[in-house]
Amino acid sequence: MAFELPALPYDYGTLEPHVDSQTMLIHHTKHHQAYVNNLNAALDKFPELKDLGLVDINKAVGTTKLPGDVATTIRNNGGGHYNHTFFWKVMTNPSNTNGPSGAVKEAIEAAFGSVDEMKTKFNAAAAGRFGSGWAWLGVKGDGSLAITSTPNQDNPLMASLPDTTAMVPILGLDVWEHAYYLKYQNRRPEYIAAWWNVVNWEQVAANFDAAKTGAVLL
């Protein structure tokens, strides 16, 4: 079974004006589609890897489970496919988003002091990621929340990579320039600030609840 581009959970224009529809269209149908295509092509010769599923393929990055000649391709495109699949779901119509509540809010306050302090740290991670990459809020092995950023299409599931802070992501932000350039150009901090308006806190809560049991929702 080949991997497929998942449908967007909303229309291309739903996240306007914070994330513009042209960006969503190109981001989904071109960039994410390319990761899917490249991942499928790489796994063509390794059907047993395909059977691992996307989450476990990502967890296998940096281990000997991935054959040498496709390891980098799988890291880049398996990472890209997971990251974007995850990303579409942690965003929603700006009228839907009400801020964190319940258990995840308590966990944020416990780890960072307040939701605002968490956002400040997250924004710094997102703005400070030089080049392409992602910022993440996730659950570490000890159950606590942490913030990290990763380069290119890496993610915190790739625990075996030397520089990765291993976490189950519950919220993530794409800071590759393709995620914001058409509307924001060089103004990445403005994009980051606007993006909070479209965060799907219900999905974040669901991700958190699963992560606390060690599971990775996809």
Q: Which residues are annotated as a binding site for Mn(2+)?
A: 27, 84, 174, 178
Sign of CA pseudo-dihedral 141, 50, 78, 3: negative
- Give the Cα separation of 140 and 12 in Å (integer): 33
Cβ contacts of 79 within 8 Å, gap of 6 or more? 58, 61, 152, 153, 154, 155, 158
Report how far Cα 148 is from the mean position of its chain's Cα atoms. Answer: 12
Please list every residue from 191 through 210 that binds other proteins, using CB under 8 A: none
- Give the Cα separation of 85 and 78 in Å (integer): 11
Please list every residue from 73 through 92 that binds other proteins, using CB under 8 A: 76
Contact 217, 40 (CB under 8 A): no
Q: Tokens representing 149?
A: 């950023």
Cβ contacts of 14 within 8 Å, gap of 6 or more? 24, 92, 93
Answer for which of 151, 159, 165, 196 binds other proteins (CB under 8 A) is: 151
Q: Give the shortest CB-31-to-other proteins separation in angstroms.
A: 6
Choose the stretch contacting other proteins; rule: CB under 8 A; options: 107-115, 150-158, 189-197, 202-210: 150-158
Answer for which of 176, 191, 195, 208 binds other proteins (CB under 8 A) is: 176
Q: Give the shortest CB-175-to-other proteins separation in angstroms.
A: 11
| 132 lies in the site for other proteins, by CB under 8 A | yes
Answer for which of 5, 26, 52, 218 binds other proteins (CB under 8 A) is: 26
Question: Which residues contribute to the site for other proteins (CB under 8 A)?
Answer: 26, 30-31, 34, 76, 130-133, 151-153, 176-178, 181-182, 185-186
